Structure formats: C-alpha cells, structure tokens
C-alpha cells in the first residue's frame, strides 16, 4: 500500500522553526519527485518546495531563504525545515510524490498525497 505520512507540524511563535517530515511507504524516493504544498483557509493550494529525482530543488517565493527541503533515501523520508516562520505561513502542509515507472520503453507517472499536517504561527 502506498502511503505518505507527514509529521512535525504544530504551533510556534513568529520567528520560530519547525521541521516537517514525510515518510513514504510502498514506493521509493529513488523513483520519485517529492514536494511540499500548503493551503491556508480561503487560499489556493501553493507549491512551497520540491526536490527532483536528481536532487534539483525548487522554492516558491514565500520559502526562499527560509525553508530547506532535503531527503534521506535510506529512511525514504523527505523533510522541510522551516525557519523564521511568519503568521502568513499558517496553513495545512501536504507532502506529495510523483513516482515514475518505466515499462515497454514508456514512462508513467503516479501522484500520491499525504493527509496533511497543520502549521500555525502566532504573532
């Protein structure tokens, strides 16, 4: 069974830090691009950060300079370190994976989502 299980959310004061974890089961990070999304009440879902199979990282404007994405292939886990948190970072954070599978010379992609973890930053 494919699963993404997030942890590490919580409540912090502005300026604080959190580290989100997302552990995958049923597939390998070696075959997948990984990402962190977030959705605040009334807002659209936003891509916060991603890391590709070959280790290339992407950060949305809101995350640049404050957040760091990393992965541990041995633990099949991806992390999002969030520093200098602001009240506007308050949202549900979702881990996502796009697994690539090759067959008959063709590549298929499968998307998976975690259940989300709440991050609340108070001023």
Distance (Å) of CA 112 to CA 14, 71, 94: 31, 17, 10
Which pLDDT score is estimated for 63? 97
**What's the pLDDT tens digit per position in 34-58?**
999 999 989 999 999 999 999 999 9
The mean pLDDT of the chain is: 96
Quote the pLDDT of residue 61.
Answer: 97
φ/ψ bin of 112: left (φ > 0), alpha (ψ from -120 to 50), beta (otherwise): beta
pLDDT class for 111, splitting at 50, 70, 90?
very high
Strand pairing category for 106-113 and 18-25: unpaired
pLDDT confidence band for 7 (50 / 70 / 90): very high
Kind of pairing between the strands at 77-82 and 117-122:
unpaired
């Amino acid at each position: 069974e494919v699963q993404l299980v997030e942890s590490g959310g919580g409540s912090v004061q502005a300026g604080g830090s959190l580290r989100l974890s997302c552990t995958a089961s049923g597939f390998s990070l070696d075959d997948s691009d990984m990402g962190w999304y977030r959705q605040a009440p009334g807002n659209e879902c936003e891509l916060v950060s991603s890391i590709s199979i070959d280790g290339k990282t992407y950060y949305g404007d809101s995350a640049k300079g404050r957040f760091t994405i990393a992965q541990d292939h041995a633990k099949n886990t991806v992390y999002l370190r969030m520093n200098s948190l602001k009240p506007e970072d308050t949202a549900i954070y979702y881990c996502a994976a796009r697994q690539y599978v090759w067959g008959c010379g063709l590549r298929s992609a499968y998307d998976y989502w975690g259940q989300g973890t709440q991050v609340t930053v108070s001023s």
